[in-house]
Chain A
Amino acid sequence: MEKALIALAAALAVGIPAIATAYAQARIGSVGAGTIAEKPETGGIIIILEAIPETMVILGFVVAVMLILQFA
């Protein structure tokens, strides 16, 4: 039972940030596509902006690993 709860906690720690990241990236992506279409020189900045929300998933992943290592 305890193992199942730990697995669920780890899944939530990755899953929720992943959904939030996808939502943020969808918005940034469409706006970025529009910006690059008009000003191609902004491409580098847009890629950085697109990658920033990704940190949420990475942090979530780290938390999930810590949970599993701590309690498994």
Chain B
Amino acid sequence: MFLKDSTGFPENYGYLNARLRAHFSDFLGREDYRRIASRSLEGIELFLLETRYGKSFRKSLVEQPLSTHRRIEMALSDTASDSLNHARQMAMGEPEDLMRVLLARADLHNGRLLLRYFFTGAVYEGNPVWHGYGSLPVPFFRQLWKSHSLSHAIDKCLSSEHPLSSALAAGCSHLRKGSTLPASERVFLSEVLSSLEEILNRHRNKNGNLVRELLGRSIDIWNMNIWSRVAADTIDREKAFGLFIEGGFSLPLERLRGSNNVSQLLGATVWESLIPKDSGSPLVMMPGKAGRLFWLWQISQRRKDPLGIEVSIAFIAHQLVEWQNLNALVVGVDMGLEVGSIMGKMVLPG
């Protein structure tokens, strides 16, 4: 018991990390991407059939009459979700809790997708590609998607006792009251973050702090996004200040409110490398570049501590980046873009 408390039960991490580290060799490398980018869509299909995506791909071939592009999209989504769910099932104790926090990004993605759907008021009979590795099950989001009305969706969210569905209900309620989309998304994000904070409060140690830092960096990106819109005069300054979220890792609210240029905002922070060398660089690109930097930071955690949450962070990021890269690649090939141009849109670790 003493050892368990004083060491954070590292045996859990030992087993989990050993299994995850064995999977790192499955991820595609720069040369693999280059090779696939020079193929046609059918060539990509053949390539995927030979890889770990093959199983999901065959399933989508048999089950649904879809276009090649959509079939690849579904196979990528299914494989990535299966891989992340499998990783979570292997974890127990502290790593399981922390994985739950790390994988809540799926619920965030799905929730934001729904808020945007309800905001536009459009009716779309098809289903988007849901991220199926979060705490809330995909069928729950499918049902909400079909509800077509905010009131119905809110009732459905409230009937579930999950804290993240309550967070979504809060976001939808704001939207129903006539709030803007960013304001509703902010409510949803804040509610999700406070629910994740409750889990993290149970783990006040090095691993919990690292996950806290990761959430802080995500908040930084959200705040940077709002700040860049203010700086580009696309939203009202006073209203935008209310959209910032507290708890960022290296960009406190005072700094966000008081900075008039990018250097002032990002100087001497972990985001310093985003300060453009030339003044002509558009501000709207900043959150995108920050996102890329954030992914690379997560992947770089892989070798930091073989008996800590770092390996899980790197594994999850690597898996999601591969999914994102392959999606970009398929779209690029479909549009007939050059290999170099497609590669430029990817996040390539190492």
Contact = CB atoms under 8 A, between A and B. Distances in A.
Given A23-B3, A38-B23, A32 B10 contact: no
A34 B10 contact: no
Nearest to A28: B14
A34 B23 contact: no
B95 to A, nearest CB: 12
Nearest to A42: B22
A47 B39 CA distance: 45
B90 to A, nearest CB: 8
Contacts of A23: 3
Given A23-B3, A27-B307, A35 B22 contact: yes
Interface residues of A, number: 13
B16 interface: yes
A29 to B, nearest CB: 8
A38 B18 contact: yes
Contacts of B306: 31
Interface string B293-309: 00000000000001100
Contact of B14 (A27, A38, A39): A27
A37 B3 CA distance: 26
A37 B19 contact: yes
A59 to B, nearest CB: 23
A34 B11 contact: no
A35 B17 CA distance: 9
A29 B19 CA distance: 13
B140 interface: no
A34 B3 contact: no
B349 to A, nearest CB: 21
A16 interface: no
A33 B22 contact: no
A37 B89 CA distance: 14
A71 to B, nearest CB: 34
B11 A26 contact: yes
B307 A34 contact: no
Interface string B2-23: 0100000011101111110011
Interface in B74-98: none
Interface of A: 23, 26-27, 29-35, 37-39
20 contacts: A27-B11, A27-B307, A30-B11, A30-B15, A30-B18, A31-B14, A31-B18, A31-B306, A33-B15, A33-B18, A34-B15, A34-B18, A34-B19, A35-B19, A35-B22, A37-B18, A37-B19, A38-B19, A38-B22, A39-B22
Given A30-B11, A37-B18, 8 more contacts: A31-B14, A32-B18, A33-B15, A34-B16, A34-B17, A34-B19, A37-B19, A38-B19
